[in-house]
Amino acid sequence: MATFEQRPGGAWRAKIRRKGYPALSATFDTKAEAQRWASEIEGDMSRARFVDMREAERTTLAEALDRYAREVSSMKKGAKQELTRINKWKKHAFAGKSLAALKSSDFALYRDDELKEGRSTATVRLDLAIISHLYTVAIKDWGIEGLSNPVMKLRMPKGAKERDRRPMSIELNGVLKAAGEIHAEMPAIIELAIETAMRRSELLGLRRENVKAKHVLLEDTKNGSRRLVPLSSKARALLDGLPVRLDGRIFSLTPHSVSQYFHRACKAALVRDLHFHDLRHEGTSRLFEKGLSIMEVATITGHKTMSMLKRYTHLCPDTLADKLG
């Protein structure tokens, strides 16, 4: 049965005690509101539809994000980048709201505000993806009752136009020349990125013991699976021409340094809108242009799905025209 008592200041407190259910209480401005709440809760209990929302209502988004960072993000390879997004969310006005209180309309407002501020669609989608996964984990792994994922009901911003930048030979030659003047390892790194279509982190993580006669062994890749990457004769010559380091590494540079040096080289060579990751696009496209099948290319590049492989593949129309005869 529900009981009601008036609190100092005029508010009304409703208490519900029923066998087999947790004791519940809530405070309202009027007695009528307290009675209405109690009636709804007791009705749900009678029909065995009661869901204990207390944990969902007392857990703020900031608290959930802290737990997510400890238990989920810390296990990911991209933990550092994800932690940056988590800290961004913790500074937002939503951080103090409970998980139960946040609705899809709240995140729709966030989406629209971020896009108006000039954020890219990719950035907004990644921000919302963390919240979506947090709710999924809270429901499935943490067992917080009564929650639904508000982001799943949200219309996500359309992705940006797929990038199809491929460097021309004259651009590549200019960048290679400028890169060599910045650091001796840069030309080999650039050419190997194209020859092997390896990711920056995979290439710079190579050690001498990973290099075999005609392939390199990647023990630790972005998607977590082991991969063998075949080496062209040019790639083998590039690797053989590098000095042997005492620490066993192929290259001394860090991923961040390579990106900085590549940007500087492009600027010096007057090459616009070319990123280091575009070299992976270029390498993947060249594999197709050599006549390799989709499955053969996927084996080399490590793409798990054909849709992801398509995003990185932009074939030269002149090469395709030559094949047509």
pLDDT tens for residues 19-28? 766 777 778 8
Q: Which has more pLDDT, 116 or 17?
A: 116
Whole-number pLDDT of residue 207: 92
pLDDT tens for residues 28-57? 888 888 888 788 777 766 665 555 567 777
pLDDT tens for residues 256-283? 999 999 999 999 999 999 999 999 989 9
Structure tokens given for 175:
């960048």
Residue 222 has pLDDT above 80, yes or no: no
Query: Does the annotation mark 215 as catalytic?
Result: no
> pTM of the prediction?
0.61
Run of H or E including 229: strand 227-230
Query: Does the annotation mark 280 as catalytic?
Result: yes
Residue type, 230: P
- Mean pLDDT score, 71-98: 89
Query: Does the annotation mark 212 as catalytic?
Result: no
Residue ranges with strand state E in 118-189 = none
- Say if CB 203 and CB 214 are below 8 A apart: no
Structure tokens given for 293:
């099948």
Whole-number pLDDT of residue 47: 60
Calculate helix-pair angle for 121-140, 61-71, nearest 10 degrees. Answer: 90
Give me the phi and psi of 11, to 5 degrees please.
Answer: -70, 155
Catalytically annotated residue among 111, 227, 303, 314:
303
Residue with tokens 């937002």: 92
Catalytically annotated residue among 85, 200, 227, 280:
280
Query: Does the annotation mark 245 as catalytic?
Result: no
CA dihedral 308, 218, 199, 249 (to 10 degrees): 180
Whole-number pLDDT of residue 124: 92
Catalytically annotated residue among 17, 58, 222, 310:
222
Catalytically annotated residue among 199, 227, 281, 286:
199
Query: Does the annotation mark 36 as catalytic?
Result: no
Residue 276, Cβ neighbours under 10 Å: how many?
21
Structure tokens given for 133:
């996964």
Q: Which residues contact 246 (CB under 8 A, 6 or more apart)?
A: none
Query: Does the annotation mark 286 as catalytic?
Result: no
Catalytically annotated residue among 261, 281, 312, 314:
312
